[in-house]
Amino acid sequence: MRKVGAAGLLALLLAGAALAAPAAPVHWPSVKSAVARDPKIEARIESILKRMSVEEKVGQVVQPDIAFVTPEDVRKYKFGSILAGGNSAPHDDNKAPAVDWLKQADDFWKASQSADWKGEKIPLIYGIDAVHGHANIVGATIFPQNIGLGATRDPELIKRIGEVTAKEMVATGFDWDFSPTLAVVRDDRWGRIYEGFSEDPSIVRSYAGKMVEGLQGHAGTKDFLGAGHVIATAKHFVGDGGTAGGKDQGDNPSSPAQLRDIHGAGYPPAIQAGVQSVMASFSSVRGEKVHGDKELLNGALKQDMHFDGLVVGDWNAHGQVPGCSNTSCAASINAGLDMFMAPDSWKGLYENTLKQVQSGEIPMSRLDDAVRRILRVKLRAHMFDKGAPSTRPFAGQFQLLGSPEHRAVARQAVRESLVLLKNARQLLPLSPKTNVLVAGDGADNIAKQSGGWTITWQGTGLTNADFPHAQSIWGGINEAVTAAGGKAVLSADGSYSAKPDVAIVVFGEDPYAEFVGDRPRSLEFSPADKKDLELLRKLKAAGIPVVSVFLSGRPMWVNPEINASDAFVAAFLPGSEGGGISDVIFRKADGRVNSDFHGKLSYSWPKRADQTPLNVGDKNYDPLFAFGYGLKYGQKGDLPQLSEERPKGGGLPEGVLFGRGAVPQGWSMAFEPASGGQIKGVDRRAQEDSRQLTWSGTGPATMAIRANPPLDLSRETTGQLSLVVDYRVDSPPTAPVTLSGVPITEALRSAPAGAWHTLTVPLGCFEKAGEDMKNLKVPFAISTAGQLKLTISDVRVLSATVAQDQCGAP
């Protein structure tokens, strides 16, 4: 451990070495968990452990993902746990019904019980990311993402949400939730900002224990990990919300004291409430990957804070420790990790870990300690007595998923989470007895109002039909207005025949998760086409009062949109209960306020698109709306005209290989050989925003975009993202054409010439075609020996729904 005495500390300070030398270590608080050590459990652990073979012990510390493992494998390797990742589901169907999830849980459980154990049969535990309700499963109650919950400032509500989530999980056979996320997010560019409750440690501190109690039940009572409860996970330990530039899986440069006091604020209360697992972070702290950081995992967490549950890894995150790979990492176990999350890498990892134990590279005492912790959690959770998942209390009660009672809790959460940023001339609350136009692409779009980690990992590829127990924002408005005798009309593009009394425009960010949501360049809300802003301006110009409902996973620079609105509501990502919005923005039929605004910003709102990091307590703190801001009815809500000056520079958004007529700086786009064809600038939406590519047909030629430095798209590839190309065929190919090795001749031949189309190719296809996705020098290459005239306007990497096994026919 990096601990120095007072004298050493003084010497460091005197030497002025605080910046350069290893930062002075600190002690973390000594925490007393409400879950006391139970001598009976401890004795049972020892007796089980004694009868385990070394193979069985290694099996316990490996957690495969259901997309890559079968019950037969579980029987053979006796894994301690399995997980269902964001895109993993029974028979590979993200929309599989609840009954299939439960059956699958039973199949895996039975496999673990029918294995040939040397001693006692150890049941596995099945984990999933129920991070805003059990939202991976069709029909579940979907709560607001944590950013919205942060705005409610309501710890008791957080506990209720935990209880509801746990019950719905148990109904479908799960034991273990990878939640709550206790990130204290300090840079709004981070793609996971919405998973964090706040930029301020005090909010995270006040929620952490409550969510744990809701999920696990009250420590010290019979309720604890009893019927209808699941194991909770405090994640991602530690510093995930403080990486430089908000880069996902990046490096947190905080001093040890900042790490503890800001980023670590949620852990002491979570441990005190009895949280049974902690997930290590993908990120690093001052250059060292947490998955290999003994001082943090063993020192801070286990020694200082007395955490005696299990430390689980993140998705192949051990593979990022220097000297490790996805299939080999003694360093992680030796640093204090107790269970590897090894989704697809479990086989090699199992074999190598076994060898490392046999050679002594992993001391047997460390392996035993890891297994003890896993067994302790399983015994505390009564896993040895619970029987098959389908036989437990609440199991199979699928009517619990999205039950009226559960949805009422979610709807309350929505009401409490909304933050009113502008209310000129007190336009809100609206009378429900008027003619209301409801516009914007978020109005009737439950996926968009729910965000990432919803049915699919990225929350994309969904329609309202995938949400049987949910209401869109339009649905809620229509219900309220119709009941009061008014008239609501849905028109996504905002067109109308009879002029309405008021327009509600629902718009914002499209769903994303993890690194896909990183916005390193700016906080500007800027879909390339600006259609939302145009719509707001058009309505305003027509003399219609405009209410904006903004859906987003983060505070964003929306000054032009705020200027173009009379009232502006930050709704974040509210989830399944769109009705919570109409509850607040409409009066009762008798004219009284129905439900006042309650939410207060849990993240500071920027004044400029490049104003990040921006956090309460900063020197020269100068936000547009400060932390804690949120209007109530009756308060003056007019705003002066806001500056619409965009930041200089800007550049292409992340993931764009070609757009707005350019490739990223330092890259190139050319024919190889140069004589093989010609590139000409042409217009689609703006001047020279596209390129017409003409192959002369004089021999094989490739039009290549070369990245500099090479791109690493390996995570995007496992994450099932796609390359998406907007193209127009001006004259069809005379010979076969490939896109980076993938045949696209048919797509080009069948596309009616002269019209714009979108080609979506899963990144996995390029990997199959032999591309090195980790070191991609040419991310885009169209080749043919024949003639072809093709125009492209946009090339980007996104999550798009296509069958991942369809790589195009020649």
Enzyme catalytic residues: 314, 514
- How many whole angstroms separate alpha carbon 130 and alpha carbon 133? 5
Q: If binding is defined by CB under 6 A, does position 180 make contact with ligand BGC?
A: no
Sign of CA dihedral 94, 100, 101, 105: negative
* Listed residue (766, 678, 152, 238) closest to 415, CA to CA: 152
Closest by CA position to 263, among listed 209, 196, 308: 196
CB atoms within 10 A of CB 66: 24
Which CA distances in Å does 396 have to 106, 232, 391, 443?
11, 21, 8, 33
Contact between 630 and ligand BGC per CB under 6 A? no
Nearer to ligand BGC, 71 or 719 (CB): 719
86 touches ligand BGC by CB under 6 A: yes
Residue 719 sits in the site that holds ligand BGC (CB under 6 A): yes
CB of 249 to ligand BGC, least distance (A): 8
Q: How far is the CB of 460 from ligand BGC (least distance, A)?
A: 12
Give the integer Cα–Cα distance in Å for 504 and 568: 10
Min dist CB 179 to ligand BGC, Å, is 8
Cβ closer to ligand BGC: 67 or 484? 67
Token pair 């086989």 in the structure block, residue: 347
For residue 665, which of 702, 704, 709, 716 has the smallest C-alpha distance?
A: 709
Q: Nearer to ligand BGC by C-beta: 309 or 719? A: 719
Amino acid at 367: L
CB 279, min distance to ligand BGC, A: 6
Closest C-alpha to 88, from 515, 468, 512, 455: 455
Rule CB under 6 A: which of 276-295 touch ligand BGC?
282
Residues 443-472 close enough to bind ligand BGC by CB under 6 A: 457
376 touches ligand BGC (CB under 6 A): no
Q: Which of 314, 509, 532, 566 binds ligand BGC (CB under 6 A)?
A: 314
When CB distances to ligand BGC are compared, the closest residue is 85
Q: Which residues in 103-185 belong to E strands, given as ranges? A: 125-128, 176-177
Shorter beta-carbon distance to ligand BGC: residue 338 or 689: 338
Residues touching ligand BGC, count (CB under 6 A): 16
Does 613 sit behind a cis peptide bond, omega within 30 degrees of 0 on the bond before it?
yes
In the window 493-532, what residues touch ligand BGC (CB under 6 A)?
A: 514
Cis peptide before 429 (omega within 30 of 0): yes
Q: Is 87 in the site for ligand BGC (CB under 6 A)?
A: yes
Establish if 344 lies at the interface with ligand BGC (CB under 6 A): no
Q: Tell me which of 276, 718, 740, 793 binds ligand BGC, using CB under 6 A.
A: 718
CA atoms of 150 and 129, how far apart (whole Å): 19
Window 225-244: contact mask with ligand BGC (x via CB under 6 A): ----------x---------
> Residues 530-569 vs ligand BGC: string with x where CB under 6 A?
----------------------------------------
If the CB atoms of residues 105 and 362 are measured against ligand BGC, the closer one turns out to be: 105
Sorted by sequence, the CB contacts under 8 Å of residue 64 that are 6+ apart come out as 73, 79, 82, 83, 342, 343, 344, 346
CB of 149: closest distance to ligand BGC in angstroms?
17
Closer residue to ligand BGC, CB minimum distance, 129 or 532 = 129
Residues of this chain, 119-138, that bind ligand BGC according to CB under 6 A: 129
Neighbours of 593 (CB within 10 A): 15
794: tokens are 């946009």
Question: Which part of the chain contacts ligand BGC (CB under 6 A), choosing from 83-91, 396-404, 518-526, 787-795?
Answer: 83-91
* Contact footprint for ligand BGC (CB under 6 A): 83, 85-88, 129, 178, 235, 282, 314-315, 457, 514, 715, 718-719
